[in-house]
Amino acid sequence: MPETLLKVEHLNKVYESSTGNVEAIGDISFTMQRGELVCIVGPSGCGKTTLLKCIAGLLRPSAGTVELDGKIVSGPPANMALVFQEYGRSLYPWLTVRGNVELPLRHKKLSRAEKDALIDDALLAVGLDHAGGSFPWQLSGGMQQRVAIARAVAYQPEVLIMDEPFAAVDAQTRADLEDLVRSLHRERGMSILFVTHDIDESVYLGERVVVLSKSPTWVQEDLAIDLPAERDQITTRAMPRFTELRTYVYEQIQRAKRGQAVRPTS
C-alpha cells in the first residue's frame, strides 16, 4: 500500500524586500510516496530552488505547508539528505573520502564498527570502495559527486533531495551518475526528489515528472512515466515511448515559458 512520505500543500513564497516583493511560488501542491523517484522540471527561474529550500526547511514559506513523514517541516529535518550541484563546495578538502562520508554520522549514536560498516557499504554502493583514503582534490568531478552521494547513502535518510546534481559534469559521467541514482532507488528503495533542467534526464530517471509553470509557480503537470522500471542508457532512450514522453514534457515547458498553460482551480 503506497504511503505518503512528502506532502507539499498550497505552498506560497513571497520574497519581501525594500525594493518590492517577488512572488516566487504561487501555489504548489504535490505528494510523494515512500520509495518513489520523482523529478521536478520547469523553466529557468521558475522557483525550483525556492521550492527545495522550503522543503528542506531552509526557508520559511509565506503560506502553506511541507509535511515529511507526517511532521510539518519547520527547520532542516534530521531524516533528509541533500546533494547539490556544487560538489566541490560540499566536500571538506582536509578530510579523506571516508572522513567526508562519516561527517553527518557524527550526529547519530552509533558505535565505531557501525559507522565503519555504513561507510564501507555506502562507498561500495557508489563504486568508490577503493578510494576511502583519498582526498577530494585527488578525485575527478564525477568521483567527488559520488562521495557526496555516498555521504547521503551512509546517513540513511528517509528522503534524498538532489538539486541539479549533475549539471557540472561531462555527458559520459552524467550518464553513469544517472544510472547510480536509478540503482540506489531500485536496489535500496531510496525515496528521491530530483530537480533538473534536463528534460531527457527527468524522463530517464523519474517514475513521475512534475512540471512547474513559470514563476509565480504552480504544478502545471504531474506526469506518470510509464517506462519499464529496468532502464539503461541505450535501450530506454531508444524506446519510442521515451521519445513521446520527452517531447510531451518539452512541449509543456515551452507552454510554461510562454505562460500559456491554464492554472487549475483547486
Ligand X SMILES: Nc1ncnc2c1ncn2[C@@H]1O[C@H](COP(=O)(O)OP(=O)(O)OP(=O)(O)O)[C@@H](O)[C@H]1O
Which residues in this chain contact ligand X in the complex, by CB under 6 A?
15, 22, 24, 44-50, 215
C-alpha cell at 110: 552509533
Residue 124: CB partners within 8 Å, gap ≥ 6?
none
**Nearest distance from residue 52's CB to ligand X, in Å?**
8
Alpha helices in the chain (DSSP H): 48-55, 87-90, 97-102, 112-125, 141-155, 171-188, 199-205, 240-258
Nearer to ligand X, 215 or 252 (CB): 215
Nearer to ligand X, 49 or 134 (CB): 49
**Nearest distance from residue 243's CB to ligand X, in Å?**
25
Nearer to ligand X, 54 or 160 (CB): 54
**Nearest distance from residue 50's CB to ligand X, in Å?**
3
**Nearest distance from residue 24's CB to ligand X, in Å?**
3
| Strand arrangement, sheet containing 208-212 | 71-72, 63-68, 4-15, 22-33, 217-224, 208-212, 37-41, 191-195, 159-163, 80-84
Check if the beta carbon of residue 28 is closer than 8 Å to that of residue 51.
yes
**Nearest distance from residue 259's CB to ligand X, in Å?**
14
Q: Tell me the CA end-to-end span of the chain in Å, nearest whole number.
A: 26
Nearer to ligand X, 95 or 167 (CB): 167
C-alpha cell at 61: 514559506
Residue 80: CB partners within 8 Å, gap ≥ 6?
56, 57, 68, 157, 158, 159, 160, 161
Sign of the alpha-carbon torsion through 70, 76, 81, 82: positive
Nearer to ligand X, 60 or 188 (CB): 60
**Nearest distance from residue 95's CB to ligand X, in Å?**
29
Nearer to ligand X, 145 or 215 (CB): 215
